[in-house]
Structure 1
């Protein structure tokens, strides 16, 4: 199955695009005459975003380019071969009865439960996996997905050419493609897809579906409706389908991330060609409303029902693994996967303990409390692993309080990390000091020292920056624009138990420096809007790991869309450009290491800790293994999970 989580970053846009003339209609394309449909197609103009590029013929390409094969792998099949002779440290049925009392036990559990079945007789092929999602599924259309829950569904139902392996490397997705080749300067990528692919309505999946989808992604009238996809495609010039199975992607220039730009979700041309021309929003017409409930998909699972705010039911798709009476791919392990929406973590944890869901991510405050009770261990096991996800305080670098890097550095010296990590967060997370995890290939070597709780250093930096307590009222102040301004700011945060605990430590710590902090729990959509508008002083947040460090440009590059704190450093901008075009991994690592050192000095964020993946799994579940992005957001990820047959 495609792992769209790997290649794409979620970007936020204001919905200001102008709708095509017929957007907003309530009928499907069948409600219009052929003349009206053709007029809409001509007006919409599918070539609108790709004009000016004339692709060569395939014969010209083959004659003028020397092709190099890139790896194409069925990652589940590869994992099966790797584990064929694997002997776990203990029988999985015993391992899941361990209580996860220390890291050694957790390692034993994970090394034992990652096994795949030795025979079909071990698998409960009729099982339903009840997968917990913490927020409602916003869209079943892979083009308009915007949340983690949306990405989970797309990963189980979607089609794509590139997958991310457990080490976050790009590989050709052998589930869907046969070959992947690149030319000498890495600007032309040629794909041949498999000839045994069908959509859930029985129509063949072809290269023309890729070309059609690419033109949608590049279409200027569609950008606002595809927030998680469009912004990463600026330097991709064209995608040309030469026949039903062969297509080429043309890149503007050679970069280290061209492989990731080959990955985007694919939708069926025969379903959307007329309807999108009539309704580019993909939400305002009857046909698109219907597709939101039962979309036509090409992955291992198809949608059979959807109850908004409650669940989405997926069913194993025979047309995925069978073709013309022969099995051509691995049969998905679960008959059904129910994406169960439970937004309240207490309710979800009770559901896990009662066996009503099969797994969930456990909030840190619950790990040693509710998830440590006998009722929890009756049906479940808990496991954890380090993620490359970092948690931070983002400073608005254009705020009068935090313009000065030395003030931001003072903030980092002013946090009581021991109190935060050891006592408040129970030692579950490791301290962070930058966006790149110490075990990642782009992290500085030797590692940069961690910031320590040092009030003397913090006070000295604040004094030097002009923030002093001039009137002995216990609050630092500074003359700004002829007016005395007290150092009093608001720290925005989400509405989670973890953010609440973190905020309390920040408030208490900085109060000892003569800084008054008001922490404010903020609803997510409001938090996002204030972040985009830069109308905040400081904000608690976190970023998950992308597949390549270049994608942090969107966060720290001058003027970039997710640079909420308005940080700007000319040298950092230059390094991002160097890192994009340098193809040698070791040389690229040095570029990002230099960048990390600049972040360390500038402190656009105060990095607090790297998250751990904290999960509970039903004891009957097997085949899960953790990457730097958790147990699911890579390949095979969810594909390798299975449930043992009951005795």
Structure 2
């Protein structure tokens, strides 16, 4: 959920700012008297930075908190709470100097201890943070999580209130970008430890250090954020606040935008994209992410023996993959100019020579191959799908996921595989998938930074976000080796080999590379939509004609 230009891996800056010109001849002014009303969609799973795994919730957190570094409009890490930093000659030790005017929303100073507490909380086993692996780049962080190292062994040192020294396991080109990620945000120990389960639900205790602070949370209705007058850069914040509405039906939300009730919506119904673009209401933003289907291949304790046997067969999974009409999905269902996915790692991650990591096509993503799919099923022992029980495909209720699921259901029926569709509300869906209470499920992943590793380390054995339960020792070896490989060319090749293994095993079916569609009134200015899917309001304002 964060991005940047790496030392040897760069990406085209795809961040866009929303805005339309006002009518010719009209003078305009900045309206600072009202909050921007933005429809987020589903109720956040959590807005605890340590526990969050969702890009939607991440956008909320990004506007409430600030890390040592933050991302600018070009997805580069620039000073946030840290006003400066130094890196040792061996690229292993980072020393951050914190701003002395950085404060929490209650006026208390932000200190190095706040970062230390947050990071140790994230890697503590009892916290069970799914994103704890994002801090395993820090020396002995993983060993501490596993119980084989002490707190004193971890490479996090508070030198003084305004100096934090971090020692890494190995040189990590994108470490500064990692410090912009939600799991790296600071937290107040006195606040969180007093109510670990409830502090992030109550505006009185949701103390943050970013541009906005939580004022009200009406579950399934709205979150109201106000400008944080104690934010060190408060003079540059133009909005008095942001209201996150929680209307899950895209059509209802878009109608509220057109009627003037909402200023901006996070997603647009596929049927409204073309006309909305013509009206100047809809913008399509490139995203670094992949929409996919995930198989339960390793968390199967609740599955029947027949389902286990089918889902554990790679030939069956490959057959189901090549039977899907990806081009039909992006042209007829999603309609946001997405690219049918021919690999897992999406387009847009370049090396120093300008080569895109996504330069290999593992199958023809532009048309289904029914005959080859049937052949694979027969080789797997299921000719024409005979012997395969009716499988269950689970998706979350919000958005157009049901339409995508229906296409998949129809495509699989063509090769003799029947699927029952089920859906769950977002929070329940995430928990069910994470716990392994499914057979096949809808999935999607947006990069947390601009490097193939943000996608590939998702599937290492035992990974916090490895909802497939996938495990391959050779894959683990390549991914973990690439994390510490100093030679950028060898590292690049190791990651390519890892993706080769993943696509051969096929625990997932990549469907398309994401785009993000947002809708906004023409007078909404300065909202930044990151290529990693986050929406920033720190430079936003509402311009109204006189």
Corresponding residue number in structure 2 for 1:62: none
Partners in 2 of 1:137 and 1:91 — Cα distance? 29
Are 1:644 and 2:546 counterparts?
no
Select the residue among 22, 27, 34 that pairs with 1:93: 22
Give the drift of 1:289. Answer: 8.3
Are 1:590 and 2:519 counterparts?
no
Are 1:492 and 2:394 counterparts?
yes
Give the drift of 1:314. Answer: 2.3
Corresponding residue number in structure 2 for 1:317: 228
Select the residue among 393, 396, 400 that pairs with 2:296: 396
Partners in 1 of 2:531 and 2:20 — Cα distance? 26
Give the drift of 1:461. Answer: 1.8
Corresponding residue number in structure 1 for 2:219: 308
Corresponding residue number in structure 1 for 2:357: 443
Choose 1 or 2 for highest CA Rg. 1
Corresponding residue number in structure 2 for 1:45: none
Are 1:338 and 2:252 counterparts?
no
Are 1:249 and 2:160 counterparts?
no
Select the residue among 148, 151, 154 that pairs with 2:61: 154
Structure 1 residue runs of 5 or longer lacking an equivalent are 8-69, 71-78, 96-118, 322-327, 470-475, 478-484
Partners in 2 of 1:495 and 1:209 — Cα distance? 37
* Structure ranking higher on relative contact order (CA contacts 8 Å, 6+ apart): 2
Corresponding residue number in structure 1 for 2:321: 412
Contact 1:386 1:610 in 2 (8 A): no
Contact 2:48 2:200 in 1 (8 A): no
Contact 2:55 2:533 in 1 (8 A): no
Contact 1:432 1:450 in 2 (8 A): no
Are 1:266 and 2:186 counterparts?
yes
> What TM-score do you get using the length of structure 2 for normalisation?
0.81
Shift in CA distance, 294/645, structure 1 to aligned 2, threshold 3 Å: farther
Corresponding residue number in structure 2 for 1:385: 285
Corresponding residue number in structure 2 for 1:293: 204
Partners in 1 of 2:113 and 2:296 — Cα distance? 46
Query: What do the CA deviations read for 1:141-186 (whole angstroms, capped 9, x no partner)?
Result: 54454554543332222131022345544x24x2422211122333
1:102-141 correspondence to structure 2 within 5 Å: 122-137=29-44, 141=48
Corresponding residue number in structure 1 for 2:112: 207
Shift in CA distance, 230/509, structure 1 to aligned 2, threshold 3 Å: closer
Partners in 2 of 1:267 and 1:163 — Cα distance? 16
Deviates more, 1:303-312 or 1:139-148: 139-148
Are 1:433 and 2:342 counterparts?
yes
Corresponding residue number in structure 1 for 2:374: 459
Partners in 1 of 2:52 and 2:413 — Cα distance? 42
Partners in 1 of 2:538 and 2:332 — Cα distance? 37
Partners in 2 of 1:410 and 1:195 — Cα distance? 59
Query: What do the CA deviations read for 1:424-469 (whole angstroms, capped 9, x no partner)?
Result: 3346322012221122226233555533312221122222222125
Give the drift of 1:127. Answer: 3.8
Give the drift of 1:334. Answer: 0.7
Query: What do the CA deviations read for 1:393-452 (whole angstroms, capped 9, x no partner)?
Result: 212336311333222222222122343332333463220122211222262335555333
Query: What do the CA deviations read for 1:550-569 (whole angstroms, capped 9, x no partner)?
Result: 24355321233332323333
Contact 1:554 1:562 in 2 (8 A): no
Corresponding residue number in structure 1 for 2:438: 536
Corresponding residue number in structure 1 for 2:71: 164
Contact 1:137 1:309 in 2 (8 A): no
RMSD, aligned CA: 3.4
Contact 2:347 2:513 in 1 (8 A): no
Shift in CA distance, 597/318, structure 1 to aligned 2, threshold 3 Å: same
Partners in 1 of 2:512 and 2:445 — Cα distance? 11
Give the drift of 1:593. Answer: 2.5
Contact 1:295 1:303 in 2 (8 A): yes
- Partner of 1:401, secondary structure, is helix
Query: What do the CA deviations read for 1:29-84 (whole angstroms, capped 9, x no partner)?
Result: xxxxxxxxxxxxxxxxxxxxxxxxxxxxxxxxxxxxxxxxx9xxxxxxxx9xxx9x
Structure 2 residue runs of 5 or longer lacking an equivalent are 8-14, 142-153, 299-307, 351-355
Give the drift of 1:352. Answer: 0.9
Count residues with an aligned counterpart.
500
Shift in CA distance, 280/639, structure 1 to aligned 2, threshold 3 Å: closer
Contact 2:41 2:246 in 1 (8 A): yes
Select the residue among 409, 424, 428 that pairs with 2:333: 424
Contact 1:365 1:425 in 2 (8 A): yes
Give the drift of 1:619. Answer: 1.0
Contact 2:236 2:539 in 1 (8 A): no
Give the drift of 1:316. Answer: 2.2
Give the drift of 1:94. Answer: 5.6
Contact 1:167 1:628 in 2 (8 A): no
